[in-house]
Chains A and B, each alone.
Chain A
Amino acid sequence: MKYNEAAVFKWVMIFAVTVGSAIALTLLAGGLVGALYALVLAIIGCVYAYRWTREWWHNARDRPGGPDYRP
């Protein structure tokens, strides 16, 4: 993964769209529905973040200097 502003901007867009959808749902269906939807989004985000850390660690292990590196 590239750690630069462009990568962060991609996440700004993802956040804006998902929270925007939560805002729209809250205004249409009420606070409880919006809160539940936001909770579901947060759980999905946590699952994605966990899987990303596992993939990152797997890639790091295979790189030079990592415990599973084989020249």
Chain B
Amino acid sequence: MESASVPLPHGAAGGHAAQSHHHGPPEANQSSRIDRQTLGILLFIVSEVMLFGSFFASYFFLRVVVHPSAWPPHPFELPVAVAGMNTAILVSSSFTIHYALEAIRKGNKSGMKLGLVLTWILGLTFLFVQINEYVHLGFSARTESFGTIFYSLTGLHGAHVFIGLCLLTAATIRAFRGHFDKDPEKHLGVEVPGIYWHFVDIMWIVVFFTVYIL
């Protein structure tokens, strides 16, 4: 492929160092409306929504077609109150990550660090409560199709929470190292995990309503 190069006028200062020949293929087109990182996370979230969609399809198939009578089947019982408390924890964590981002948009780095730490603590609390719930449920993933789909759906979400915690860990460490700034391009490392965390929150609200309430 012919490499693009910009010819410089004779006598340009700096000699060879000043001649910037571009080698290789031309620069990829970058949209002026959305940056690559944000587009990337949004596309990833769309693909994960499809994945959750397939698990929900399986859930409703088992519930409506296979077991049209009582659901959960006897003697299964779900701890709705504990899950409700967990929902409140996760929704709160959405507020804290939003606070962190609003803080850094205004140049408040201390607020950003506080928001990130609080979000991380709330996320970890959610995960521990979920694991504790698994321990005390009284049935396993192998106990009939109900057990399988319950653990599959909530476990898939728990895995996403864990990934979100890993992203938040990286963002928090970088925040304390002073990597982020007021400029939107300089705090994408918080913006992208923030968007992902909101997706995790929204998905849990849907899972909670479908599995525990409906």
CB atoms of A38 and B209 under 8 A apart: yes
Write out, one digit per residue, whether chain B residues 171-214 have a CB within 8 A of any chain A CB (1) or not (0): 00000000000001000000100110011011001101100011
Whether B58 sits at the interface, judged by CB under 8 Å, is: no
Whether B94 sits at the interface, judged by CB under 8 Å, is: yes
Q: Contacts of A34 on B, CB cut-off 8 Å? A: 213-214
Q: Contacts of A5 on B, CB cut-off 8 Å? A: 97-98, 101, 191, 194-195, 198
Q: Contacts of B205 on A, CB cut-off 8 Å? A: 15-16, 19
CB atoms of B202 and A26 under 8 A apart: no
Q: Contacts of A4 on B, CB cut-off 8 Å? A: 38, 184, 191, 195
Write out, one digit per residue, whether chain B residues 71-101 have a CB within 8 A of any chain A CB (1) or not (0): 0000000000000000000010010011001
Q: What CA separation (Å) do A19 and B205 show in the bound complex?
A: 7
CB atoms of A3 and B94 under 8 A apart: no
CB atoms of B201 and A3 under 8 A apart: no
List CB contacts (< 8 Å) of A1-38 with chain B: 3-6, 8-9, 11-12, 15-16, 19, 22-23, 26-27, 31, 34-35, 38
A25 nearest CB neighbor, chain B only: B213
Q: Contacts of A12 on B, CB cut-off 8 Å? A: 91, 94, 198, 201-202
CB atoms of B101 and A6 under 8 A apart: yes
CB atoms of A3 and B209 under 8 A apart: no
Whether B33 sits at the interface, judged by CB under 8 Å, is: yes
Minimum Cβ distance to chain A for residue B60 (Å): 10
Whether B170 sits at the interface, judged by CB under 8 Å, is: no
Q: What CA separation (Å) do A26 and B208 show in the bound complex?
A: 12
Known: A11-B202, A15-B202. A3 touches B98 (CB 8 A): no
B29 nearest CB neighbor, chain A only: A65
Q: Contacts of B202 on A, CB cut-off 8 Å? A: 11-12, 15
Q: What CA separation (Å) do A31 and B77 show in the bound complex?
A: 16
Q: What CA separation (Å) do A44 and B206 show in the bound complex?
A: 16
Q: Contacts of A19 on B, CB cut-off 8 Å? A: 205-206, 209
Whether B42 sits at the interface, judged by CB under 8 Å, is: yes
Q: Could you list 21 A-B pairs, sorted by A, with CB under 8 Å?
A: A3-B39, A4-B38, A4-B184, A4-B191, A5-B98, A5-B101, A5-B191, A5-B194, A5-B195, A6-B101, A9-B94, A9-B98, A9-B198, A12-B91, A12-B94, A22-B209, A23-B209, A23-B213, A31-B214, A34-B213, A34-B214
A residues with a Cβ closer than 8 A to B are 3-6, 8-9, 11-12, 15-16, 19, 22-23, 26-27, 31, 34-35, 38
